[in-house]
Structure 1
């Protein structure tokens, strides 16, 4: 059977670079919206935000650090190119989140609007990373490995992690903020689910 992927358009290295940069900016701005409104999200970004809320430490450094253990899994499962791009994306988002507050601030930001904007902007950012063969690391990599080895669907693993994360958030954040956070996470996942197609583009 012919390999149909040979006929798909591939990104050049320059297109990959600009795609990863734009997606990282979108991801960082989405996190800025969440942090400004006191919200969280799922995945390792949510874990870093939760620790940040609890300790007052900067999200950027926490996000970079909590992702470090996952790079070995990324390399063993997806290879060095995916791992390197993921490392660059995580590092880019971490740095931008630390820099953006010096350039952008909000005199008023309703948590509901922050959740909606995060879901849309963050979802588009994650889509951009996926299309250029990258990710924001974390639990998604473990979920893929568990699916391949044990048949546990990746979505269920991701959902279990996120439910535990939001349950922990309920002890640290007001119920209303946890609710708005859930809304943002749902919108983000809807954006990804309705628009992500692995067979549309292949990274260069």
Structure 2
């Protein structure tokens, strides 16, 4: 009996996994949160990190639409995600990026923001997108690009995904000084810091059960 008790303490029962419906609704809610955050960011003319930040900078510099640009810059990363994280993660990430691209480009037609202080826009983006990304991670997905690499580095070396993403973001923000006023870049930095802190302080593999 003692050995049975020891075994039960050492091997806790497996946690329940998401159903297909729970998975779909979690991914959908998370992508909407991310798209809303990006919409708020664009209303103030700000940028962010990751591939979303790269897409925003390209959109500001060239006049291209954000949605197709964001979709395009993420394409090379799916092969890497498939090879290192598996087909489920790669397919879900592709679907999430596609949804955010479509929703973010559709929002200006139905939700117009006449004025927003850049500090409010930046902080709001950081919270909304940070929580949205946590939801995507929890459901074995991402918004492609740097977040895929960040998750792989976390899994392999134990470095928090938020800190990995911060290194890329630093380089991106330095480049953004070339096309945006200094004040906008500094306000944008606030949102990126909040987003990465949300991820760094809350994302842990042992807290979540993913499909």
TM-score of the aligned structures, taking structure 2 as reference length:
0.88
Summarize the alignment of residues 8-27 of structure 1 with structure 2, pairs less than 5 Å apart: 8-27=15-34
Alignment-derived partner of residue 138 in structure 1: 145
The answer (yes or no) to whether the contact 1:85–1:133 under 8 Å persists in 2 is yes
Q: State the distance in 2 between where 1:70 and 1:49 align.
A: 18
Greater relative contact order, per chain length (Cα 8 Å cut-off, separation 6+): 1
Give the number of aligned pairs: 202
Structure of greater Rg: 2
Name the CA distance, whole Å, in 2 between partners of 1:37 and 1:74.
Answer: 32
Q: Distance in 1 between matches of 2:163 and 2:198?
A: 18
In structure 1, the gaps of 5 or more residues are none
> In 2, Cα distance between the equivalents of 1:7 and 1:125?
26
- Out of 113, 122, 128, the residue aligned to residue 121 of structure 1 is 128
What is the TM-score normalised by the length of structure 1?
0.91
Give the Cα–Cα distance (whole angstroms) in 1 for the partners of residues 207 and 152 of structure 2. Answer: 23
Quote the Cα distance in structure 1 between the aligned partners of 2:30 and 2:162. Answer: 22
CA distance in 1, matches of 2:42, 2:205: 31
**Aligned residue in 1 for 2:75:** 68
Indicate which of 57, 60, 64 corresponds to 1:50.
57
Verify the 8 A CA contact 1:11 1:203 in the aligned structure 2. Answer: yes
Moved more, 138-147 or 169-178: 138-147
Contact preservation (8 Å) 1:60, 1:94: yes
How many Å separate the matches in 1 of 2:26 and 2:150?
A: 25
The structure-2 alpha-carbon separation of the partners of 1:121 and 1:169, relative to structure 1 and needing over 3 Å to count, comes to: same
1:88 to 95, 106, 115: 95
Q: Following TM superposition, by how much is the alpha carbon of 1:162 offset from its aligned partner in structure 2, in angstroms?
A: 1.2
C-alpha distance in 1, partners of 2:153/2:210? 24
CA RMSD of aligned residues (A): 2.0
Q: 2: distance between equivalents of 1:196 and 1:159?
A: 15
